[in-house]
Amino acid sequence: MISEIAVWLVFFLPLASFVAIAFVIRPFLNGYAVTAGYVSILAIATSLALSVWALGTVAHEHTSVEFAPHRWLTIGTLEISLGVTLDSLTAVMLLVVTSVSLMVQVYSTGYMKGDPGYARYYAYLSLFTASMLGLVLASSLVQLFVFWELVGLCSYLLIGFWYHKPSAAAAAKKAFIVTRIGDFGLLLALLYLFFNQDKFPAGLNALNISDINDAALGVLGSNVVTWIAVGIFAGAVGKSAQFPLHTWLPDAMEGPTPVSALIHAATMVAAGVFLVARFFPLFEASTTAMNAVAVIGGVTAIFAATMGLVQHDIKRVLAYSTVSQLGYMMLALGVGAYGAAIFHLFTHAFFKALLFLGSGSVSHAAGGTFDMRYMGGLRKVMPWTYVTFLVGSLSLAGLFPLAGFWSKDEILAHAWGAEGAVSQVVFWLALVSVFLTAFYMFRALFMTFEGDFKGGAAKDPKADAHGHHGEMHPHESPWPMVAPLVLLGLAAAAVGFIANPITDLGVVPIHWLTTFLSEGAAHETVEFNVGVATISSAIALAGIVLAYTIYGVRRPAISPEAMGRWFRPVHTLFYRKYYFDELYEGVLVRGVFYRGVAQALDWADKSIVDGVVRMVDRLGRNTGRAMGQLQNGQLQGYGLAISVGVLLIFGVYLLFR
Amino acid sequence: MGLESFLAVGAIIFCIGLYGALTKRNAITVLMCIELMFTAVNITAVTLSRYVVPAGLAENPASVSDDVLQTLLTGQVFTIFIITVAAAEVALGLAIVMAVFKNRESVFVTDATEMKH
């Protein structure tokens, strides 16, 4: 049994580390900034241990552990409470967040070594992790919303960590503003619940997550449920970078690479999927909402994968891959495969963190560039990075028996088995993305590690080569960077089969994770579907083989340039990201907002608001001038005025006596 | 000759004085007109002092209280004061006119406009 304090500590330890670093180490002991890393790692390691304990408790008890919420605010009849939920979903998320965060923080001691903002970096990382843990633990919607926004704030701070780079500052703003559009939907859903608390029966708190889920079935009208679900989903779309709010995530590359790993694997984007999973009973109560989730997820999966095909920046390839994989998870949720979605979130966290950290290691070796056209041949000089990156890529491509295979197959099997036209459509979307995923991942792998070294940062005109000039000599990264890669590599290889085996392993029962996650709800687990698995594996293999024939051999039968020429319009469309940035920046921001709304408001401000002010000013000035005319310095004029005034007063007195 | 005649003379002189004070440009004329207004006020004060209280005294001596009896000569005393103060004031006023004249060779009130806004 786990005590409530221990659960709270999971969240409070990283928060305490943030406070210690931000208010003690950074202002007073910045000369010893390296201690910031140790403090932060110690805190997150303890959190990880507590998370394992929490997971063990929940798994052992076979039920979620209930803690009575604490009263926070009472507004009229509404009570807003603070509390921790510890169900299977939270327990799994806690493990994912703390373990990935620990790996990222260990890796960062090597990657960020000597950075002038070292202490600040660790302060942000700790706050980021703490916010995500608070989000995962939250029992009330208000509490969840607070941490939701904190996660957004931290991602802003970390993406813009190198704020002196204009592109980083712009990317940070973009991430913040684009996710804010989605957050507006979540806020609307929250406000609806706040103002309609009287619709909830006695005993159910309108802002308690479990109570909302209970009320979704029957108590609330189906329209109301749909709209609340759509509002919540809008928040998830923003956070999880789903179509059409996906544009911020690829730009979020501007932050330090370990931050990208954290954002893409555990903290930021997982929050959207988590949110939908948290309100899953609510979504299930509305077919419309479920279909919306499935379609958005499916479209995003294939849409992002196509953009990933043609990027030159290795981190951008990975970023589109994340968007695509998040689409998978949404798709799974949409077809009702709750357990499969979280299972994929779980495995994806490990292999995506691995791939990002691997790309950071590659860039470290290549002197700071992320452009794959200037890499190549790194396999021989950095074997550890190569092997772990290969494992991550295979896992992401979904090849037997790596982690990604099991979770991806679980989703595909669910989509295949689910009823309704929507799930059939998204099944095919998902299957096409399997091919695309395998292709772009191995394209990146071959471009980076095979062939000859093409000069690294010294040749890249855009890279700020940290003082490197002339010949580059790539080298393997130091052990604080390699160790997390190896650990994550092991996880990316094994975690899928161990956590959710298709046969009874004795220690781990069959379909353990999905059964565990679905506990207390009537979600069936789907049997391992050999047919779907074979087809998806074959498709993934085809993608890898195609990538090999184009990018893997020295004299390819089909050169990349020829491919680019043949598919010129499509290539351009993909490379320019379907012109979504242009659409948003040019049409929406500049056209509609700047030319339309902003200029209309500017006109109103200038002519109406300023006009009233200027009128008041002119009235006073003109009155003053007229009065001033009377004061002409002619004493006799004053005398006359006094005489006439006395006569007037006297006359009035006589009249109205 | 009664109360009204005296008051009428006072009012007429006051109006002449007021008219002159408000219309004449020459500061000395203005001063003279102010003296006229003083004179009018003096006439009115003495008239009222002479007629109002003693009239009541003659009709019904018992109706006049001691306080009122003590103010029997108030108007006359007031007038003596006003004549004295007016003399001083004229001396002062003429001195100012002299000073202004020395400064700008003019005794016209329209030329002294330093206090304009």
Write down the pTM of the prediction.
0.75
Q: Which of A327, A324, A511, A524 lies closest to A419, judged by CA?
A: A524
Task: Check CB contact under 8 Å for A643 and B116.
Answer: no
Mean pLDDT of A218-230: 80
Closest residue in B to A626 (Cα) is B117
Q: What values do phi and psi take at A67, rounded to 5?
A: -125, 135
CA distance A340 to A258: 27
What pLDDT does residue A645 have?
A: 94
| Residue A472 scores a pLDDT above 90 | no
DSSP for A44-68, written as a single string: HHHHHHHHHHHHHHHHHHTSPBP-P
Residue A170 to residues A154, A159, A164, Cα–Cα distance (Å): 15, 9, 11
Task: Check CB contact under 8 Å for B22 and A640.
Answer: yes
CB pairs < 8 Å spanning A and B: 27
Asked if A25 contacts A34 with a C-beta cutoff of 8 angstroms, the reply is: no
Give the domain ranges of chain B. Answer: 3-111
Asked if A246 contacts A338 with a C-beta cutoff of 8 angstroms, the reply is: no
Among the residue ranges A44-48, A136-140, A472-476, A492-496, the one predicted with the least confidence is A472-476
User: Using 50, 70 and 90 to split pLDDT, how confident is the model at A655?
Assistant: very high
Contacts A643 to B, Cβ<8 Å: 18, 22
Cβ-based neighbours of B51, under 8 Å, separated by 6 or more: B2, B3, B6
What pLDDT does residue B36 have?
A: 93
User: Using 50, 70 and 90 to split pLDDT, how confident is the model at A527?
Assistant: low
Burial class of A490 by CB neighbour count within 10 A (0 to 12, 13 to 18, 19+): middle
Q: Which residue has the tokens 């006569």?
A: A647
Contacts A628 to B, Cβ<8 Å: 117
Closest residue in B to A632 (Cα) is B116
Among the residue ranges A181-185, A212-216, A351-355, A636-640, the one predicted with the least confidence is A212-216
| Residue A25 scores a pLDDT above 90 | no
Which residues 20-79 of B are in CB contact (within 8 Å) with A?
A: 21-23, 30
The predicted-structure confidence for A116-132, as pLDDT tens digits, reads as follows 888 888 889 999 999 99
A531 touches chain B (CB under 8 A): no
Q: Which of A354, A363, A365 lies closest to A387, judged by CA?
A: A354
Closest residue in A to B22 (Cα) is A636
Mean pLDDT of A1-23: 86
The predicted-structure confidence for A375-410, as pLDDT tens digits, reads as follows 777 777 888 888 888 888 888 888 877 888 888 888
Task: Check CB contact under 8 Å for B21 and A635.
Answer: no
Q: What is the ipTM of this complex?
A: 0.77
Closest residue in B to A643 (Cα) is B18
B3-111: which CATH topology?
Helix Hairpins (1.10.287)
Which pair of structure tokens corresponds to residue A435? 């091919």
Q: Which of A162, A191, A341 lies closest to A252, judged by CA?
A: A162
What percent of chain A lies above the pLDDT cut of 90?
A: 8
Task: Check CB contact under 8 Å for A635 and B109.
Answer: yes
Among the residue ranges A348-357, A495-504, A538-547, the one predicted with the least confidence is A495-504
CA distance A186 to A180: 10
* Cβ density class A172-187: b for 16+ within 10 Å, e for less: bebbbebbeebbebbb
Burial class of A32 by CB neighbour count within 10 A (0 to 12, 13 to 18, 19+): exposed
Tell me the pLDDT of chain B averaged across its residues: 86
Mean pLDDT of A429-449: 86
- Pick from B22, B30, B117: which is nearest to A631 by CB? B117
CA distance A16 to A47: 12
Q: Which residue has the tokens 């929250």?
A: A190
What pLDDT does residue A465 have?
A: 45
What pLDDT does residue A621 have?
A: 93
What pLDDT does residue A525 have?
A: 59
What pLDDT does residue A468 have?
A: 45
